[in-house]
C-alpha cells in the first residue's frame, strides 16, 4: 500500500530539504511540485498549453531555481486551468510504491488530502529571506520584499490558497538546524509507519 507524505509551506522554509531527506531515508519517490509550476512559467506563452505539454526535459531545466522562475510560478499557479492540468500528474505520482514525498503549497489541502502524513514547514519572513539571499547571492531586503509579495499572492488566491491542512503537523524551522528539523519530520513519519 503506497504511503504519501505531503509537505507544504512557504519558500525557503526548508520544506524541500526536508522532503528530499525523508524520501532518501525511507526509500520513497520525491516530487518538488513547485518545479511543475516553475517549468510552466519558464516555458512562456499560454500557461494552460504549457501545463498540458509539460515534459521531463522541462523539469530538468537549470534555470528553474531562479527568483524569476519562482515569481512566474506563483503567477501561473493562480490560474485554475493550469492547476487542473497538473493535479492528475501529482496525484498519480503520490500513489507510487512504496511511497512518495511531495512538497509544495497545497499538497495536504488539495492534491493529497488523504496523505498519511502532512507537514506544514514554515519559518519567519526574515529567516527565510536570509536563507534565500545566501542561496542566490542576492540582497536580503530585496528577497524579503519578494517573499512577502509571493506569500501574500499565494495565500490570497481563490484557487488552492497556501495554508496548513487542519491535521498537518506544524514545523517552524526559524531557530532549528536542518538536522533538528529533519529529526522531527523523520520521527513523525516513522511513528505513522509504525516504526517509531
114-152 burial by CB neighbour count: b if 16+ within 10 A, else e? ebebbbbbbbebebbbbbbbeeeeeeeeebbebbeebbe
13 is in an annotated binding site: yes
15 is in an annotated binding site: yes
**Cα–Cα distance for residue pair 190/171, rounded to 1 Å:** 16
Contact 74, 147 (CB under 8 A): no
39 is in an annotated binding site: no
Compute the Cα dihedral for 182, 36, 9, 133 and give only its sign: positive
Q: Is 72 annotated as a binding residue?
A: no
Does the annotation place 10 within a ligand binding site?
yes
Instruction: Name the one residue in this structure whose C-alpha cell is 520584499.
Output: 145
Listed residue (37, 83, 61, 69) closest to 146, CA to CA: 69
11 has binding-site annotation: yes
124 annotated to bind ligand? no
- Residue 103, H or E segment: strand 99-104
Can you say which residues are annotated as belonging to the binding site for ATP? 9-17
Can you say which residues are annotated as belonging to the binding site? 9-17
Amino acid at each position: 500500500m503506497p504511503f504519501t507524505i505531503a509537505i507544504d509551506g512557504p519558500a525557503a522554509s526548508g520544506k524541500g530539504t526536508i522532503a528530499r531527506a525523508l524520501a532518501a531515508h525511507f526509500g520513497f519517490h520525491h516530487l518538488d511540485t513547485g518545479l511543475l509550476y516553475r517549468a510552466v512559467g519558464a516555458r512562456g506563452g499560454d500557461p494552460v498549453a504549457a501545463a498540458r505539454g509539460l515534459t521531463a526535459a522541462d523539469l530538468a531545466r537549470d534555470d528553474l531555481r531562479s527568483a524569476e522562475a519562482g515569481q512566474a510560478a506563483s503567477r501561473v499557479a493562480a490560474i485554475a486551468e493550469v492547476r487542473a492540468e497538473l493535479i492528475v500528474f501529482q496525484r498519480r505520482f503520490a500513489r507510487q510504491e512504496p511511497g512518495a514525498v511531495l512538497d509544495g503549497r497545497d499538497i495536504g489541502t488539495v492534491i493529497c488530502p488523504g496523505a498519511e502524513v502532512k507537514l506544514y514547514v514554515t519559518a519567519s519572513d526574515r529567516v527565510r529571506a536570509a536563507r534565500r539571499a545566501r542561496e542566490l547571492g542576492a540582497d536580503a531586503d530585496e528577497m524579503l520584499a519578494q517573499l512577502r509579495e509571493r506569500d501574500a499572492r499565494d495565500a490570497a488566491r481563490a484557487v488552492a490558497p497556501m495554508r496548513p491542512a487542519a491535521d498537518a503537523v506544524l514545523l517552524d524551522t526559524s531557530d532549528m538546524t536542518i538536522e533538528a528539523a529533519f529529526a522531527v519530520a523523520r520521527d513523525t513519519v516513522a511513528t505513522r509507519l509504525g516504526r517509531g
